[in-house]
Amino acid sequence: MTNKEVPNIIIGRLPLYLRTLQQMAGQNRRVTSSQELGERLGISAAQIRKDLSQFGEYGKQGTGYDIPFLIAQISKILHVDRVWDIAVVGSGDVGHAVARYQGFTNRGFRVAAVFDNDPAKIGQKVGNFVIQDVANLIPEIRKAKIQVAMLAVPASQAQGVTDLLVQAGVKSILNYAPISLNVPAGVRVQYIDPAAHLQMLSYYMD
């Protein structure tokens, strides 16, 4: 079903559709429309229909989308019809918040391990996790077969830790360090840089 040629910008909207549908399902809703989804998301109904049509025929003219069915379909497309374990590297303020973050439930991910290089932190607990020594990162990640990591280390250490994660077999990295990472083909990075997001807003301010 998944077509690897679908533009990245469409892939980027699928999590928003899924999140909104899950919120509707949480309110015991059964059916929605591209119009309603569009209003909630500030995206045109035509765009939503076009995006979803890349993957199949999910709505019926006049009756709209079956919410549980569409949730199941988009979850399959995004490969979150399973739960992925995540390794968090760095247990400063950001790593701490990420390790304890409650927002992954039902969205396909769970934190499974937390690493740091600070002897004062190793062995301490963050949320339910004992902070492990980053020196053991490669064997621990391999043993646990973890393929997803969140990087919350200082910019100066981010590339070095990334190289370890890649060696350990990690395929997806969510990077909170404000630096662009070099990764080999087959490894993907998404960036969370609050200052960069804010600059996209200040562009429009006087």
Which chain residues interact with a copy of itself by CB under 8 A?
2, 4, 8-9, 11-12, 14-16, 18-20, 23, 40-42, 77-80, 84, 86, 93-94, 96-98, 100-101, 103-104, 107-109, 147-148, 150, 155, 171-174, 178-180, 188, 190, 192-206
Task: Please report how close the Cβ of residue 107 comes to a copy of itself at its closest, in angstroms.
Answer: 4
Contact 131, 113 (CB under 8 A): no
Name the one residue in this structure whose structure tokens are 């390794």: 87
Token pair listed for 203: 């562009």
CA 10 to CA 170: how far, in whole Å? Answer: 24
Task: Please report how close the Cβ of residue 156 comes to a copy of itself at its closest, in angstroms.
Answer: 10
Strand partners, 111: 86
Task: Please report how close the Cβ of residue 1 comes to a copy of itself at its closest, in angstroms.
Answer: 12
DSSP state of 149: E
CA 87 to CA 149: how far, in whole Å? Answer: 5
Closest to a copy of itself by CB, 30 vs 188, is 188
Task: Please report how close the Cβ of residue 62 comes to a copy of itself at its closest, in angstroms.
Answer: 26
